[in-house]
Structure formats: structure tokens, C-alpha cells
Structure 1
Amino acid sequence: MFANSRAVTSNQDAPHPALADTVRRHLGHAWRAPLADHDRDAFARAEHWLAGSSGPLILDSGCGTGRSSVWLARRYPHARVLGLDQSAHRLERAARRFEPIGNLLLLRTDCAGFWRLAEAAGWRPWRHYLLYPNPWPKSAHLKRRWHGHPVFPHLLGLGGELVLRTNWELYAREMAGALELAGRAASLSPLTVENEAITDFEEKYRDSGHRLWELVAALDH
């Protein structure tokens, strides 16, 4: 990928003033939007694939073309890795780009719907990765960011260790603030990618000179 990515621009220069009210409202009111049939189908396929397995589960949500999912599956061969993305086009590219790996399944699904189904089924992933790009930098789009979305309590309910990487510090700071409101502590630190980048965006942002950030949080109380 070319090293020509522009830095994130936003009309926010600090965490959104409505962040706390938005997070508290979602924590206090269950999200009752109907679940899509394709998300139910994807979840059923995942359950079938995981049946009988005893290793830890890793979720790679918004996996795109699957580079990060492949990296995780190779790094943690004892784990089962589920890469989730809503784009059939991106997942088709993954199928052309990478050889199948026995402990990896890529699924087309909406992450929000899948998380709700997984939480209801009692899933408890070991780790949950949210890796680039950075969603919705305009202040009007707070509720489209994961920490401002109604699905945020379900993300928490899945538990495990959350690992978020971004080239937009404010996004990570907002996530840390939302987690604090929910009673979870997060660490945020600059990320030095000295070896292989684990996503195409990470490689592009690094080569474009962007500062990268990593947030890590234990979601279990």
C-alpha cells in the first residue's frame, strides 16, 4: 500500500461533550433493534465451526481483507480465530489472498448483530481485536463509533481482553473514557510497529508517518 494516507481530521479537538450522557444512556437501556437473518446465519455457522473445540476464542471484528485474522491465527495456533466483516468484497479478497488456515474462519456479518448473539449465547472470548480504520471522525457521528453505539454494553458483556489500535488518538481516548464510565480500566500507549504490521491500514499509516496508538482493557469485572 502507498504511504500517502492523510492524518485524521475532525471538528473535535477533545472527547465529545455528549460522550458520558450517551454511554450512560446505552448502559441503562437495552438495545432492542431486530437482528438480521444474515447475522443469525453467520452466528449459526460460527457455532457449528466451534462445536467441540476447547481452545481459547479470538474475535477480530472488522477484519477487512483478513490480514490481521491470518496473523492472529498463525501467532496463536492453539486458539480459534473468527474474523468478522460486513463486506463480501473484502472477504472475497481475503479468500484469494491467503491460503486456508485450520484455526481461522472468516465470516460476513454485521459485528453489532453478531456480538449480541454471541453474548446471549454465553460466549466469552479470550481476546477481542478492533483494528483500524478509525470510524466517523465528525462530531455528529459519535453514535456510530463503537463506544457511542447502542451495542457498546454488548461489547462489554462479551468480556475478555479488548485490544484496539488506531491512528486517531482522540478515538482511543474516547473509548478509554467510555470504558471508565462502565467500570473498566484501560491502558493507552503509543504503538511502535517495528516488525510486521498486522493490517494493511497499520502498514499504510505507519509508512505515512502517523502516530499509532494501542488501547488494552480487561472487560471482565
Structure 2
Amino acid sequence: MHSGRTFFPMYANSRAITTRQLAPHESLESRLKRMMAAPWQRPYAQHSIAAFAGAERLLQAYQPDFPSGLILDSCCGVGLSTRQLAQAFPSHLVIGVDRSADRLSRDHGPLPGNALLVRADLCDFWRLALEAGWQPERHYLLYPNPYPKAGHLKRRWQGHPVFPTLMALGGRLELRSNWDIYVQEFAQAIAIVTGQPAPEVEPHDPQNQFLTPFEKKYHASGQTLWRCTAELPYRGA
């Protein structure tokens, strides 16, 4: 039986990122401007529509009990970060979203009463949320796959066609990574899409308050953690 205590497995053996890309990608601005000029219109997958409809019903049912607003935990993995955020913000509704049913199904104890976990493809989920008028007060992207090869820009969130939608959702967006170039590139992408100054990229010391297993593992491995935070206006669909 699960004790109910949040458990973070820790192995201090995480390799530092190695790459030939030593600065934000030189093609970032041109790629983003093309995406802004021709918004992404890929048809929604039916399973994404169904998943979002379920999340929308839950949001409407739960939100009156949590007047401080909505927090999104995108790419939440096994949902440990969602649990931590729900405990840290008890008057908010926290929705964790991940595409892996296997990760979301792992037993890490009961969810707090102000937390939900949703299986969905974020490329569809964010667009559907924008169309539905969702306005998260806070939005977290914690330790996404950095895809460190220079040729992998299109796989990173800041190089993906859905990035302008992410910006349009607004709120206090926080990204964390163990690769400083990824965070610098993400901050630069925010400035390109929104016209705001690029948010500051700074080292992050979790002070033993780890939101994800990755955060704890990288920290224990002696790697510097990085983050940037941006206050984004809601721009609507």
C-alpha cells in the first residue's frame, strides 16, 4: 500500500548535456516569424478533443471552489509536480497534462483535492484551451526534453508551430531546464513573439524543494539548474 508520502527516486548520475550548439539557434527568429505569419492549423485529433472536453467539464465543476484561478502544469510526467504545486497553491485549481497514460497511471498517492491529471497531446490541448478562453494564472514547463542537437530546433517548444499559442494563453509562465542555452533560446523566443523584453535567465536553487524527479536528479548530479519567468498578457484565440 502506498504511504501517501511523495517519493522522489534519486540517482546522482545524470550526464551533463553535450552539444555543438553554444548559443540560441541562429534560425530561431526566422522560424518564429514564419509561424506567426501562417498560424498552425493542423486538425485536432479526436482523442485530444475528447480529453479536452473532459477537462473542460471538470474545470467548470471545480473552478468555483478555487477562486484564485487556474494553474497549468504542462508535461507533468508522473504528476509529482502537479501534486507539489497543488499543495503550494491550495486556493488554485492545478491541472497537470501529459501525453503518456503510463506515466500518469503510476501510483504516487492520492491527488490533492485541488489537482487534476489529464492525458492529452499539448499541441492540441493548448489550442483548444485558447479557443475555450482558458486564462491560466500560472503555467509551468518543467524540464522539457532539450533536444540538444542543433538540427532539433523544430522539436523544442520554442521551435514548434504551437509556440505562439502557448504565448497567447498568457499568465505567469515559468520554464526550468538544466541546459542554459535552452532557457536562453526560450526567453529570446518570448521576446520575438510577444514584443516584450526577453525575461531574465537565472540559476535556480531549489533549496531541497524539488518539483520533479528530474530537478532533484540534476541537482544531486552537481548540475546548475536554470529558469526564466515571464508575465504574459492573455491574447485570446
Normalised by the length of structure 1, the TM-score is 0.96
Cα RMSD (Å): 1.1
Matched, 1:87 2:100: yes
Q: Distance in 2 between matches of 1:17 and 1:51?
A: 43
1:167 corresponds to which of 160, 178, 185: 178
What's 1:29 paired with? 38
Q: Distance in 2 between matches of 1:81 and 1:69?
A: 7
* 3-state SS of 2:73 partner: strand
CA contact (8 A) 2:147 2:156 kept: yes
1:59 corresponds to which of 45, 66, 72: 72
Matched, 1:15 2:24: yes
* 3-state SS of 2:196 partner: coil
Residue correspondence of structure 1 range 125-144 to structure 2 within 5 A: 125-144=136-155
What's 1:108 paired with? 119
CA contact (8 A) 2:79 2:117 kept: yes
What's 2:47 paired with? 38
Q: Distance in 1 between matches of 2:200 and 2:52?
A: 31
* 3-state SS of 2:190 partner: helix
* 3-state SS of 1:30 partner: coil
Structure 2 residue identity aligned to 1:82 = I
1:41 Cα offset (Å): 1.0
What's 2:5 paired with? none
1:97 Cα offset (Å): 1.2
CA contact (8 A) 2:146 2:179 kept: no
* 3-state SS of 1:97 partner: coil
The aligned length equals 219
Matched, 1:195 2:208: yes
1:193 Cα offset (Å): 1.5
1:184 Cα offset (Å): 2.8
Q: Distance in 2 between matches of 1:159 and 1:120?
A: 13
2:81 corresponds to which of 47, 58, 68: 68
Normalised by the length of structure 2, the TM-score is 0.90
1:11 Cα offset (Å): 2.2
Once the two structures are overlaid, the 10-residue window that deviates more, 162-171 or 127-136, is 127-136
What's 2:4 paired with? none
Calculate percent identity across the aligned residue pairs: 49
1:184 corresponds to which of 192, 196, 207: 196
1:195 Cα offset (Å): 2.4
Runs of 4+ in 1 over 6 A off after TM superposition: none
Once the two structures are overlaid, the 10-residue window that deviates more, 98-107 or 166-175, is 98-107
Structure 2 gaps of 5+ residues are 1-9
Structure 2 residue identity aligned to 1:43 = F
Structure 2 residue identity aligned to 1:158 = L
Structure 2 residue identity aligned to 1:192 = D
Q: Distance in 1 between matches of 2:196 and 2:40?
A: 20
What's 2:232 paired with? 219
Structure 2 residue identity aligned to 1:167 = N
Q: Cα deviations across residues 78-128 of structure 1 (Å, max 9, x unaligned)? A: 0001100011111011xx112122111101111111000000111110011
Q: Distance in 2 between matches of 1:110 and 1:184?
A: 28
Structure 1 residue identity aligned to 2:189 = A
CA contact (8 A) 2:141 2:174 kept: yes
Q: Cα deviations across residues 55-84 of structure 1 (Å, max 9, x unaligned)? A: 210000000011110000011010001100
Structure 1 residue identity aligned to 2:137 = W
CA contact (8 A) 1:134 1:171 kept: no
